[in-house]
Amino acid sequence: MHRRAHFEWKLRTRSLALDTATRVMGILNVTPDSFSDGGLLRSVDDAVDTALAMFADGAAIVDVGGESTRPGASGAISTQQEIDRVVPVIEGIRRALPDALLSIDTYRAATAQAAIAAGAEIVNDVSGLLWDDAMAATCADLPCGLILMHARGRPSDWKSLPRLAPDEVLPLVKRELAERLSVAIAAGIAANSIILDPGFGFGKMQDANYALLRGLPELAALGQPLLAGVSRKSFLGHTLAPLYGVANAPVSAREHATLAASTIAILMGASLVRVHQVRPAVEAALIADAAIAADAALAGDATLSAGQ
């Protein structure tokens, strides 16, 4: 088990303590084509109600996204379309729950700026500041909390990318996340505002994701807290496939696998997990956190005994 160091995550107007309690981030996709829940939320009111239910179930953060980044998504939307989707939802959530802690899932600087102005505290950039040259300066100027995710290419590239061997994925992700972290800090973004996400499934195929999962302690050596987003990902469906007699288990059949992978991520050092179903993840996190605490207590006892 990997014990997490205390970290005060500096956000737009407040800080969030990351230490012994895992934080759960709920996924709120206000998109027609996200891979597992696109089109389910048909109005701003539906989206607001769903977010409020996530908070009631124990989410620390709700992550609002207005464009799908799944492979084969219907195509890039305009910045204005993305803003029009997410800003009314953020404003509605904050009206209903003024203290709600929200993040905006976007790689566009203009969307990030509009979302933060509407009440979001965090920018969750799946490109790690790579897909919009203005994003780094925008996040520095706001300022806000920032999640830097590793993506290997763009969604349109993923099917044609050469597969990574299991022993290649961790060095690649660690090196490129370190580069993205350096770029962010050089742009004026405070280190205590930054969380790192290895980007499960984002250009990493099938078993390479398990190598990444077990390698989380090495990524923690970069000095920033880690977020793990494994919810309903294709690599889980691939592993479950023999149970269903298909090449990839359906998305609807991946919830238990999501809990298993999220729990492993916590035991390996993730401070936050990003999920579609909040309540089961909150319960799993409580159990994982209790196991980590017991491990720490036993290690403390052993150290004390050795010193006597």
Q: Is 274 annotated as catalytic?
A: yes
What type of residue sits at position 244?
A: Y
Q: Specify the long-range contacts of residues 257-265, CB closer than 8 Å, at least 24 apart.
A: 258/230, 258/231, 258/232, 258/233, 259/284, 261/213, 261/228, 261/230, 261/233, 261/236, 262/228, 262/230, 262/231, 263/287, 263/288, 264/213, 265/213, 265/216, 265/228, 265/230
Closest CA to 77 of 86, 87, 67, 69: 67
Q: Is 192 helix (H, G, I), strand (E, B) or coil?
A: helix
Domain ranges in the chain are 7-307
Q: How far apart are CA 157 and CA 55, in angstroms?
A: 35
pLDDT digits (tens, 9 = 90+) for 36-53: 444 566 789 999 999 999
| Confidence (pLDDT) at 305 | 52
Looking at residue 304, what is its pLDDT?
A: 41
What burial class does residue 167 get, using C-beta atoms within 10 Å of its C-beta: 0-12 exposed, 13-18 middle, 19+ buried? exposed
Segment 126-136 shows an average pLDDT of 97
Give which of 156, 130, 129 is closest to 140, Cα–Cα: 129
Cα separations in angstroms, 2 against 148, 200, 218, 291, 292:
21, 19, 10, 11, 8
Q: Is 233 one of the catalytic residues?
A: yes
| Active-site option among 10, 85, 233, 254 | 233
Tell me the two tokens of residue 87.
Answer: 């800003």
The whole-number pLDDT of residue 36 equals 47
Q: Half-sphere exposure of residue 1, counting CA atoms within 13 Å on the CB side?
A: 20
Provide the token pair at 295: 């491990």
The per-residue pLDDT for 303 is: 52
Can you read off the two tokens belonging to residue 81?
A: 């379309």
Query: What mean pLDDT is predicted for residues 245-263?
Result: 96
Instruction: Output the CA angle 146-152-155, nearest 5 degrees.
Output: 95
**Among positive and negative, which fits the CA dihedral 43, 48, 49, 55?**
positive
Among the residue ranges 23-27, 171-175, 298-302, the one predicted with the least confidence is 298-302
Res. 1 pLDDT band, cuts 50 70 90 = confident
- The pLDDT score that the predictor gives to residue 301 is 57
- The yes-or-no verdict on residue 308 having pLDDT over 60 is no
Report the CATH architecture of 7-307: Alpha-Beta Barrel (3.20)
